[in-house]
A and B are shown apart, each in its own frame.
Chain A
Amino acid sequence: NAGVTQTPKFHILKTGQSMTLQCAQDMNHGYLSWYRQDPGMGLRRIHYSVAAGITDKGEVPDGYNVSRSNTEDFPLRLESAAPSQTSVYFCASSYSLKVAKMSTDTQYFGPGTRLTVL
Chain B
Amino acid sequence: AQSVTQLDSQVPVFEEAPVELRCNYSSSVSVYLFWYVQYPNQGLQLLLKYLSGSTLVKGINGFEAEFNKSQTSFHLRKPSVHISDTAEYFCAVSEGRGGGSNYKLTFGKGTLLTVNP
Residues in chain A within 8 A of chain B (CB atoms): 4, 31, 33, 40-45, 48, 50, 56, 90, 92, 94-97, 103-107, 109-112
Contacts and interface: CB of A to CB of B under 8 A. Distances in A.
A21 to B, nearest CB: 14
Interface string B39-68: 001111110010100000000000000000
6 contacts: A48-B103, A105-B32, A105-B34, A106-B49, A107-B105, A112-B42
B98 A43 contact: no
A45 B92 CA distance: 13
A95 B98 CA distance: 8
Interface string B68-111: 00000000000000000000001000100111001111011110
Chain B binding surface SS class? mixed
Interface of B: 4, 9, 32, 34, 36, 41-46, 49, 51, 90, 94, 97-99, 102-105, 107-110
A87 to B, nearest CB: 14
A105 B49 contact: yes
A37 B32 CA distance: 22
B109 A105 contact: no
B113 to A, nearest CB: 15
A36 to B, nearest CB: 11
A4 B102 CA distance: 20
A112 B105 contact: no
Contacts of B110: 40, 42
